[in-house]
Structure 1
Amino acid sequence: MKRIAIVCVAAYAGWAGAGGLESLEVFVKTVKTGRADFTQVVTAPAKDGQAPRVKTSNGTFEFSRPSRFKFIYKKPFEQSIVADGQTLWLYDADLNQVTASKQSKVLGSTPAALIAAAPDLRALQADFTLADAPDQDGLQWVAATPKSKEGQLQTVRVGFRAGEKSAELAALEILDSFGQRSLLSFSKVEVNPRLSADTFQFKTPAGADVIRQ
């Protein structure tokens, strides 16, 4: 019994000391559905000697791997981003406008692909160069750099809390080519919840303009 206990402790210590890349691989393998609240802080670079502009919003996030996810922004402005497996829908409540894009053309090199859409690590490595980043704020981080230079995304970092058998998504940090930084912090995380079939169905609000790309 003592020997078994030592082996178990050693195995856990090895996992706890693993880097962000291993956490990402475990997360993709073991977490097929998820639900969480999020707070997003967007910091725009300082201009003309002025302080950086900061905007905070919050909402909910759900996903079902592969290729289905939903971000619902509740405050300060209502917005929805829904991927149903075929189409990526963006809805702006203030403008009452919907933008619909073919998901296969726009999703590959996006932050959402890292945490919600990709079926496995190999699929991510087709679009991103992945590497361990230093631990920070008690989290294990992985850095992802898009291989395509055509988009506006510069780098992404994903932060995980390492558990005994899995990795819990904790943060997503995005830096775009304009120097704007977005940090999403996740809370009330549910791992592998049962999600209904219509969770990721988007219904166009009455009277909304629809722009198809």
Structure 2
Amino acid sequence: MIKKLFASLALSALAVAAHAGAMQSLENFVRTAKTGRADFTQTITAPPREGQAARTKTSSGSFEFQRPDRFRFEYRKPFEQTIVADGKTVWLHDKDLNQVSQRRQARVLAQTPAAVIAASPDMATIQRDFDLKELPDSGGLQWVQATPKQKEGQLTSMKVGFRGDQLAALEILDSFGQRSLLTFNNMQVNAPMTAEAFRFTPPKGVDVVEAP
């Protein structure tokens, strides 16, 4: 009986430890990862239309971040796009459209996945903007769900996946029912970064528009 009781307590303790692991991984990543770079693959799944199956499209590129609030996405396939946050402005350069859009970063950061990835190096900022919930392990990863406290944005919810303390995936659901899964490879944490990586100057000849 005593052995069974101790075994039961041990299993309960292991279950609690596993459940707490996802949130601890997030806290460790936010606290210790000052910079990072990785390759990514993004799969976007649009909700099915009547009489049609769900549609998917895949893109890939590279990602860099530096705390606080600086990041860069370089989409290379199938189309080239650059998204840069320099701490004040979020820039989006669509090479095919020959257009650059800019938005004030303070207005949009809390409604983007970067609010979790590249936020200030403490949990207070994230907890101010998101309700956090630990989820069961899935696909070999530990998951935390982040739901925006402001409901009027396009971001409905986000799941952050970790392999140990390493960021491995983001799954994003928007207000249109579109689901986007980013998987990260070759993640380098605290890699040397230059300020130039997070600066953006619109190329000559492109149309520059200020998005609301």
Q: Shared topology, TM-score over 0.5? A: yes
SS in 2 for 1:108: helix
Specify the alignment match of 1:196 in structure 2.
194
> Post-superposition, which runs of at least 4 consecutive aligned residues in structure 1 deviate over 2 A?
13-19
Aligned-pair identity in percent equals 60
Specify the alignment match of 2:127 in structure 1.
125
- For 1:90-147, what per-residue CA distance to the aligned partner results, in whole angstroms no more than 9, with x for missing partners? 1111111111111111112321111113332110011100010110111110000000
Indicate conservation of the 8 Å contact 1:109/1:128, yes or no.
Answer: no
One-letter code of the match for 1:74? Answer: R
Confirm or deny that 1:63 pairs with 2:65: yes
- For 1:4-47, what per-residue CA distance to the aligned partner results, in whole angstroms no more than 9, with x for missing partners? xxxxxxxxx89973432111111000101000000000000111
Which 10-residue stretch deviates more, 23-32 or 203-212? Answer: 203-212
1:110 to 1:119, Cα distance in 2 relative to 1, 3 A: same
Specify the alignment match of 1:35 in structure 2.
37
One-letter code of the match for 1:54? Answer: T
Offset of 1:81 from its aligned partner?
0.6
Give the counterpart of 1:156 among 152, 158, 164. 158
Indicate conservation of the 8 Å contact 1:39/1:57, yes or no.
Answer: yes
1:192 to 1:16, Cα distance in 2 relative to 1, 3 A: farther
Q: Matched residues in 2 for 1:23 and 1:57: separation?
A: 27
Q: Matched residues in 2 for 1:198 and 1:148: separation?
A: 32
Q: Matched residues in 2 for 1:15 and 1:139: separation?
A: 16
Confirm or deny that 1:108 pairs with 2:110: yes
SS in 2 for 1:198: helix
User: Any unmatched runs of 5+ in structure 1?
Assistant: 1-12
SS in 2 for 1:199: helix
Specify the alignment match of 1:8 in structure 2.
none
User: Any unmatched runs of 5+ in structure 2?
Assistant: 1-13
Q: Matched residues in 1 for 2:88 and 2:148: separation?
A: 22
Q: Matched residues in 1 for 2:116 and 2:38: separation?
A: 16
Offset of 1:153 from its aligned partner?
1.2
- The CA RMSD over aligned residues, in Å, is 1.6
Give the counterpart of 2:148 among 136, 141, 146. 146
TM-score for both structures, normalised by structure 1: 0.89
